[in-house]
Amino acid sequence: MAEKSEWQGTVGESWADEYRRTDRSFTLLTEHLLAQTRQFSFKNVLDIGCGAGELSLAVARGRPDVAVTGVDVSPDLVAVARERGSGLANCSFELADAADWQGDGSPELLISRHGVMFFDDPPAAFGHLADQSSDEAAILFSCFRSLEENPFFTEVIRQLPELPDKGDPRAPGPFAFADADYVRSILAKAGWQDVGCEPFDFPMIAGVGEDPVAEAIAYFKRIGPAARAARDMDTLARDRFFGRIRAMAERNMHEGVVSLPAAAWIVTARKA
């Protein structure tokens, strides 16, 4: 699900259109990652799979003394990130595959908010990134834990007329890094040590505002498993499906916010 070629095309396009809702959905995760950056000392940062740039921009705004580079394979997302960062002198964005990115500086901190689970060959990609980094480099990224621990997704999937085939759990996709031992083995093979995987649970926001349920439905129609499944449905099946999604969103609205639990790993390591 969502391989590199999809990010370069329609999936990247939808994420570029929906970046505000996506950033809102990850609000607490972004704050947590930002807080975690404070344990490291750095002047040069690389944001891997930066998407529309939220994490890069947040680091650059808070640390004017630091140079931040975001890389992503989606032309649409890089265009949005560049526009958002146009007023910031210390933040730039490159259209590049992080697995073979070559930069001018050597980053001391590599960061990512859910942008590292899509490599065809993760040990090679993380090994290449280690080679491009300074000798003292550290890495800090988030990724989802298992699908089963993420009602933000399972509750949507449960509304489908047929459950999708589970496929290879380690194939590039949002849940490829669910197994912490697998993540540790990738990073160790790639020349990173002292790997830490800390669980972080957060409410993932789907809808707020005047009509939070309508907001949530609009978001599910564009991003994630509902959007993907709905593409192959006829009009009647789609209407019924989004009727069930509406009921699910209503059940998960509390104090004017539609949100569902999400579960991530916060992974840290340093260059061996």
Contacts to ligand SAM by CB under 6 A:
4, 7, 12, 22, 26, 49-52, 54, 71-74, 77, 97-99, 113-115, 118-119
Closest approach of ligand SAM to the CB of residue 114, in Å: 4
Q: How many CA atoms lie within 13 A of 143 on its CB side?
A: 29
| 19 versus 242: smaller Cβ distance to ligand SAM | 19
Look up residue 145 and give its two tokens: 């834990």
From residue 43, give the alpha-carbon distance in Å to each of 66, 68, 110, 134.
5, 8, 11, 11
- Please check whether residue 3 is in contact with residue 119, taking contact to mean a CB–CB distance below 8 angstroms: no
By beta-carbon proximity to ligand SAM, the closer residue of 97 and 179 is: 97
In angstroms, what is the minimal distance from the CB of 126 to ligand SAM? Answer: 11
Instruction: Identify whether the C-beta of residue 222 lies closer than 8 Å to the C-beta of residue 13.
Output: no
CA atoms of 51 and 2, how far apart (whole Å) = 13
Residue 182 CB, shortest distance to ligand SAM, in Å, is: 18
Choose between 81 and 249: whose C-beta lies nearer to ligand SAM.
81
Q: Are 140 and 209 in contact (CB under 8 A)?
A: no
Contact call for residues 222 and 153 (beta carbons, < 8 A): no
> In angstroms, what is the minimal distance from the CB of 232 to ligand SAM?
22
Cβ distance to ligand SAM smaller for residue 118 or 220 = 118
Specify the residue, 118 or 265, whose C-beta has the smaller distance to ligand SAM. Answer: 118
**Cα angle vertex 68, ends 75, 95, to 5°?**
15
Which of 97/155 has CB closer to ligand SAM?
Answer: 97
Torsion of CA 177, 186, 47, 27, to 10 degrees: 30
How far apart are CB 198 and ligand SAM at their closest, in Å?
18
Least separation in angstroms between residue 90's CB and ligand SAM is 19
The structure tokens listed for 205 are 């926001």
